[in-house]
A and B are shown apart, each in its own frame.
Chain A
Amino acid sequence: MGNLLLKLAYFLEGSHKYYTFKHFVYEFLEDTSSKKKKYFDFLMIFLVLSTVGIMIYEVNHVTLPWLSTYETVAIIIFIIEWLGRFWVISHAHRQIVEDYEKSRLINQTFQIKESVKTIIKEKLRFVFSPMSIIDLLAILPYYRPLRILRILMLFRLFKLLRYANSIKQFSDVFVEKKFEFFTLAIMFFMAITFGSTIIFIYEGAGVNDNIHTFFDAVYWSVITISTVGFGDISPVTTEGRVATIFLVVGGVGVIAFFTSIVTTALSTRLLALKEEKVIGEANALKEFVIICGYGRMGKVLAQEFIKIKQKFIIIDHEDEVFSHANTQNILSIKGDATDSSFLSTIGINKGASSIVAITNDDAVNLSIILTARSQNPDINIIARANNQKVKKKLFLAGANEVVSANEISALVAAEYIGQPIAFEAIDDILLNTEGAIMDEVEIIQKSNYIGHKLENIDFTQFNLTLIGIVETSNHKKFTFNPQPDQYIIKELDILIIIGHKESVSKFKIELIGSKPKISMRKKISNKIISSKKQDK
């Protein structure tokens, strides 16, 4: 028997199919990062709510046959789910394999009983875990003779805890504030004991018609201390009324204490929850930009990114700024961008392609650059220099580009004074407004235009002006206004053009799809040649 188990364990350990299938099930049930679990959770939430709905319906209606079939199916799914969890919670066969190899290593005879014991222990730990008990209790009321346990159907609602992460977070609050709740419970217990004892002593012995047992007294004090006060039991003696006064006053205190504990715990949890959500979202992003500092510059940058649907995340440590970004529905997180562990949780070496350090403090910007560079040697870093003199240092720290707003503004101002109209023309392009844009169009591999002369592209037809060509194959050399009848288009050339947005996108589509047209001029010149030949 032992031998058989051992063989089976080794067989499973070696089976690829077994592992893939187990992992597949694991993804559905336990892998919080998996999309499959999300869909599965939705299904389960629906099943839970619908079965509870059915039970409520059955209270004063005749059971419809299809409803009971539906419930049966749901219960079967619940059972399968529980069994699945029971299965994936640990690798039983591996325990046997490991124990066997260990015993061989130290030259001892292998005791399969020991391994089985550990396996059973592990599985039992799962069976008696709170969530598993809830699962089982949710299945139980289906068994008709146990209809008395119908109250347990409510446990199905607790099952929801499994599927909603945020609810689980709230239940964690109680664990977190254990000490406070414990103190509160003692206070509550003392007040209740005190109140119920007094009322029972003075009014229990037939004085008050409503108080017969000690339980009545406890019931009365709980109702009183909670300030609910149904009034079904009320004190009739002076002593009883004095006790009531103390209980009510004490009750207000207890409730205030309770409320404050719960609210503070929940609000801190809420922040943590939000942060977790933002980090989760950021980690799922690809090619996103981290903006450190959400000041006046950060706001403009964020607006531009939104326009082109570039993904980004804002980091700022000031509450005010942070909440502004929040109200704008921008992915933002409060934190210190100079903290390397913080940057790595956001995903500086995962999905981030660039980081922008634009706080109004050059020392902070420098620190961000160094931290980011140490975390990711390849990331593109752009920094703001508030003081031109620190530009060099920022480059030294590892920035790929340093922008001094004052310096550029000065250049822009000088340009405007010198050539106002030329400036206005380029202003449209600079400020990214609706008018004309300057854009780059790449000659993709296998493009039909490769090897042809530039004159084969008719820019005027698209209402575009060609400014120049960047030759990727030639060290990114920029040729200004290349001669159309001489320049030969190469693979990966980048055409720099000016025109309206629509014209540019039309042009891009054309360039990707079509064959080069031989221009009219060429056709005419061909004709001329042939007619000359005829003349001869």
Chain B
Amino acid sequence: MIENRIIIYSFSQIASKIAITLREKKYNVLIVEDDEDLAQEAKKSGFETKTLSLMEDENIIELGLDKDHIKAFFCLGNNKNTNLFITLSVRNLNKDIKIISLSSTKEDNKTLLLAGANKTINPYEIGALRIFRSLHKPIIQDILDNILFSSSNIEIAEFTIQKDSIFNGIYLEDLKKIHKKNIIILGIQDKELSDKFIFFSTGINHKIDAGDTIVMLGFDHDLQDFKKLISKII
């Protein structure tokens, strides 16, 4: 079994960019492409590549996409209908796998989510919103870039609370008191309530249970310290 395995369907322009970024983040990337030329290109870029069409269920099973050990599947073909078809096929074979599909309009987003994608990526939307922020709120844009994409020392991190963690059962407000380090708690996702993210700033003093995930901002080393603290067992 290969750790941190990610399968990417297609080696389109955006797919190649995503593959490269994921490889930089130490993921194990497999490219599946039915076009000979693009497959060759992927091989040249140093990716493990398979020339296969995913329109057949047998091929999806051959890749092991029906098993749970694969971290995520990206469906990034240039054809909208093929993407829909493959998204639906993979979801049909594996209920739990994380599927991220390429879309180009808001309407596509909806159909892809309906077909079983967990997340859609619309480069036009992402690009346009970035331009929008650059014009509307350039300072926020810089800070977000710093936190999210650059290698600056401020990071965003998430920690899931384990059953035997010392944080199990305490309130968010108290969490701040326990840990006075230079960390900002953004919010929490409660597994019981829904998958909706609750921002800390809404003012609700939430009780932390096992399985909840806390999201925070901070300097890299502070976050590391916090991680040690959070995994402490009572």
Contact = CB atoms under 8 A, between A and B. Distances in A.
Contacts of A478: 142-143, 146
Nearest to B20: A410
B85 to A, nearest CB: 21
A261 interface: no
A415 interface: yes
Nearest to B218: A481
A410 B128 CA distance: 15
A422 B215 contact: yes
A440 B187 contact: no
Contacts of B219: 480
A301 interface: yes
A282 interface: no
Given A410-B18, A419-B156, A422-B157, A358 B121 contact: no
Nearest to A442: B139
B130 interface: yes
B139 A440 contact: yes
B74 interface: yes
Interface string B123-157: 11111111110111101101110111100001011
A429 B6 CA distance: 27
A376 interface: no
B224 interface: no
A410 B127 contact: no
Contacts of A407: 17
A521 interface: no
A413 B100 contact: yes
Given A422-B158, A425-B197, A465-B200, A384 B143 contact: no
Contacts of B72: 417
A356 interface: yes
Given A410-B14, A465-B200, A305 B132 contact: yes
Nearest to A482: B182
A496 interface: yes
A436 B124 contact: no
A409 B123 contact: yes
A297 B124 contact: yes
Nearest to A459: B201
Interface stretch (A107-115, A235-243, A248-256, A498-506): A498-506
B71 interface: yes
Contact of B186 (A404, A425, A476): A425
Contact of A439 (B21, B140, B199): B140
Interface residues of B, number: 66
Contacts of B18: 409-410, 413-414
B71 A460 contact: no
B100 A494 contact: no
Contact of B140 (A408, A411, A440): A440
Given A296-B105, A382-B131, A405-B124, A308 B136 contact: yes
A470 B50 CA distance: 49
B139 A494 contact: yes
Contacts of A205: none
Contact of A426 (B144, B185, B200, B201): B144
Interface in B189-226: 189, 195, 197, 199-203, 213, 215, 217-219
Contacts of B27: 417
Contacts of B148: 411, 415, 426
Contact of B25 (A295, A300, A414, A421): A414
A406 B144 contact: no
A298 to B, nearest CB: 7
A229 interface: no
Given A409-B18, A410-B21, A425-B186, A463 B201 contact: yes
Interface string B173-195: 00000000011111101000001
Nearest to A385: B127
Interface in A367-386: 380, 382, 384
Contacts of A481: 182-184, 217-218
B14 A406 contact: yes
Nearest to A383: B131
A382 to B, nearest CB: 5
Contacts of B185: 465
A430 interface: yes
Given A296-B105, A409-B123, A494-B139, A417 B128 contact: no
Q: Of residues B17, B128, B129, B203, which shows the largest number of chain A Cβ atoms within 10 Å of its Cβ?
A: B128
A304 interface: yes
A481 B142 CA distance: 16
B22 interface: yes
B144 A498 contact: no
B215 A421 contact: yes
A424 interface: yes
Contact of A417 (B6, B17, B139): B6
A10 to B, nearest CB: 55
Interface string A419-459: 11110111011111001101110000000000000000000
B130 A436 contact: no
A444 to B, nearest CB: 16
A469 B122 CA distance: 32
Nearest to B72: A417
Contacts of B143: 438, 467-468, 470, 478, 496
Interface string A476-516: 10101100000000000010101110010000000000000
Interface string A36-67: 00000000000000000000000000000000
A371 to B, nearest CB: 19
Interface in B1-34: 6, 13-14, 17-18, 20-22, 25, 27
Interface in A390-420: 401, 403-420
B137 A425 contact: no
Given A419-B158, A500-B201, 9 more contacts: A300-B129, A304-B129, A408-B123, A411-B21, A413-B74, A417-B27, A425-B187, A436-B201, A480-B182
28 contacts: A297-B125, A300-B124, A300-B125, A356-B131, A358-B128, A388-B17, A403-B134, A405-B124, A408-B123, A410-B20, A410-B21, A411-B148, A412-B126, A413-B18, A414-B22, A417-B100, A421-B158, A422-B186, A425-B189, A425-B197, A467-B217, A478-B143, A481-B182, A481-B184, A496-B140, A499-B201, A500-B201, A500-B202
